[in-house]
Every structure is written in C-alpha cells, then in structure tokens.
Amino acid sequence: MHNFGQVSVDRVLFGLIRSIYAGSTVIADDFASDATISGEAKDDGTSVTPTDVASQEAMLLVLMKYGWPIWAEETAGKARLLLGTKPILLVDPLDGTSARLINRWGDVTAIAGSVDSDGLVDRAVISQPALRRIFFAMRGHGAWMTEMTGDISTDLRLARRLTVAKSAKKSVLAWDRTWRFKPKTHLVLSDRDLNKLGSRLARRYKLSYGPNGLNAVLMAMGGQGLMAHMCVAKGGAYDMLGMLLVLEAGGYARAFDEAGNELADPRQIGEAMVMITAATTADLEWVSARVRAILR
C-alpha cells in the first residue's frame, strides 16, 4: 500500500489510475483538436470511434504488465468468461461515445476498475478528461476526487474525499437512457417499459439523462441535486463500476437480475442487469420498488 497524504492506494489501483491518465490524455487531445468524427456501428447498436480505440490502446499498454485478465469494451476476448473465478481488470476507454459524436465533451468519461475472484467490484477509477478531473475508490478506503495535472503522485496528495448529498431542493434521478442511444441486444427493458418507468419516476424526481460514468461521479460528489442514479442498459461489467464510488462516498446501492430478483451483494456485477444507487435508504427503496414492478 502506498500513502499519499490522506489517500492510500495499492499497486493495482495505482496502475488503474495510471491507465486512466493515459486514456484521458488521448481523449483530451481529441477534445483539443475539435475534430468532427463519425462512429462505426457495433453489433449491440452502440458506436465506436477512433478515439475509443486509441484510448483503449493507451490504457491497455499500462495494464498489461499486471498480468491479470482484462475485459475491455472494444476487445472483450475471453476475460468476460472468467468473471467470478479470478480477479479481472475492466476497461471502458470512452464512456459516452454518443456524447462525443455531438461534441458534448463534459459528458465523456474514461472508466477502469477491477473485480475480485468472487466477481465483486473492489476498485473503480473514472475521469472527466475535458475537465481534467479524476475520481477513484477502493473498497473500504473511501471515494476521492482530484485534478489531473500530469503528476500522479502530487495529484493524489491533493485529493479530496467525496460525500453524497443527503438532501436537495429539487431531487434529480440520473439514468443511462441517453440521446441517440439505440440499444439492441443488451437492452434490459423494452422502450415501452422504459417509457412507463420514466413516467413513474418523474412523479418524484426530475430526470436527467447521461452516460453511466458521468452519472456516477456526479452522484458521488453530491452534485446537481442527484439523489439517485440508475443503470438499465448494461453493455458490460464496466458499466457497474461507478457504483463503488457512490458506496464509498456514503451512498447506497441495489442490483437486480433480469427477472427482478435482488442480488445479495450489489457489487456482484457479473449477474447484475439493473443497478440503482441512492443518497438515502428512502430514495433507494422508492426507486427499487418501481424498477421491480417493471422487471416482473
């Protein structure tokens, strides 16, 4: 374990942070170029851009030296088959590709993390490259945020602890039903069910739509009145990593399988198909009840 002031990180978390710096540099360079690019459609209906691929290459270059299986979004390989049997590193090199395609740079994140041999999330790192911010958590060690200046050691010493907001003037629920998102094979709920769920949630919350990485960091830092965050279109295990940030920031979480059965541990991301985080137990109960009703 390495100590950087208030922050303690182990070798693997430090490597994940390094990989996020590498991927974020690629994304930031793309942002600085202000180039217009097009995405190539994947089998699941989402898009991949040259920036996704370049960011992933930079991240994997850092992580390969650890010798752990890696489940990366653009090249999953056999690693996904090992989930729940041995430790695995997870990589989403650019979360919010749809946002990138319409130049909503503040919504774009890079995500990395790890699960233990039981398939439980134990480390998570998310960056906002356009804002030069990085968020990270390790199970039992809290959630943290710092600026990315290029000197990782200095940045870690300046990290600030994250705490979810327990109240808000106008409660907001963020979820991953984003603009231009055309889910296909990995869609958990039909469009009809999503519309029905949205109308029910809107009775209590103002709904905010955005990528999972962005929603998780805003939730963990207590931003924009967020009292709940929901992931209903799981593309891979990496989509669930932000949950650890919220839990370590003092929030709560639940996860459900496709039939609406609650998992014993919400960090068991291999089986989770719908994930909910919330700032309070009351918010968690309210949202969970509406989600279960739709799933069943």
Would residue 166 count as lying in a domain?
no
Identify the domain boundary among 161, 190, 205. Answer: 161
> Worst-scoring range by mean pLDDT, 47-51, 68-72, 214-218, 292-296?
47-51
Q: How sure is the predictor about 184, in pLDDT bands with cuts at 50, 70 and 90?
A: very low
CB 95 within 8 A of CB 128: no
138 and 67 in a common domain: yes
179 and 106 in a common domain: no
Give the count of beta carbons closer than 10 Å to the beta carbon of residue 34. 8
pLDDT of residue 149: 92
What's the DSSP call for residue 141? S
User: Whose CA is closest to 55, among 96, 104, 83?
Assistant: 96
pLDDT of residue 107: 80
194 and 136 in a common domain: no
Range 249-258 average pLDDT: 92
Q: Which residue has the higher pLDDT, 107 or 80?
A: 107
Q: What is the mean pLDDT of the chain?
A: 84
Helix (H) or strand (E) holding 146: strand 143-147
Range 51-80 average pLDDT: 85
| CATH, residue 152 | 3.30.540.10
Q: Is 36 exposed, middle or buried (0-12, 13-18, 19+ CB in 10 A)?
A: exposed
37 and 122 in a common domain: yes
155 and 223 in a common domain: no
42 and 12 in a common domain: yes
Q: Which residue has the higher pLDDT, 151 or 97?
A: 151
pLDDT of residue 185: 43
Q: Which residue has the higher pLDDT, 285 or 296?
A: 285
pLDDT of residue 43: 53
CB 85 within 8 A of CB 200: no
183 and 269 in a common domain: yes
pLDDT of residue 34: 62
Q: How sure is the predictor about 210, in pLDDT bands with cuts at 50, 70 and 90?
A: confident
pLDDT of residue 296: 73
> Worst-scoring range by mean pLDDT, 64-78, 109-123, 152-166?
64-78
136 and 15 in a common domain: yes
Give the count of beta carbons closer than 10 Å to the beta carbon of residue 269. 28
pLDDT of residue 181: 43
92 and 114 in a common domain: yes
pLDDT at 187 over 60: no
Would residue 275 count as lying in a domain?
yes
> Worst-scoring range by mean pLDDT, 26-40, 96-110, 142-156?
96-110
Identify the domain boundary among 103, 130, 161. Answer: 161
84 and 59 in a common domain: yes
Would residue 167 count as lying in a domain?
no
| CATH, residue 240 | 3.40.190.80
Q: How sure is the predictor about 10, in pLDDT bands with cuts at 50, 70 and 90?
A: very high
The boundaries of the domain holding residue 36 are 2-161
pLDDT at 83 over 80: no
91 and 13 in a common domain: yes
d(CA 49, CA 274): 26
Which backbone phi and psi does 120 adopt, to 5 degrees? -95, 135
154 and 27 in a common domain: yes
Total structural domains in the chain? 2
Q: Which residue has the higher pLDDT, 194 or 36?
A: 194
From residue 152, how far is each of 20, 126, 213, 224 by CA, in Å? Answer: 11, 14, 21, 28
d(CA 74, CA 80): 12
CB 17 within 8 A of CB 151: no
CB 81 within 8 A of CB 62: no
Q: How sure is the predictor about 284, in pLDDT bands with cuts at 50, 70 and 90?
A: very high
From residue 242, how far is each of 92, 102, 117, 157, 281 by CA, in Å? Answer: 12, 24, 19, 22, 18
CB 224 within 8 A of CB 241: no
pLDDT at 238 over 90: no
User: Whose CA is closest to 54, among 76, 34, 74?
Assistant: 74
- The sign one gets for the Cα dihedral 279, 282, 283, 284 is positive
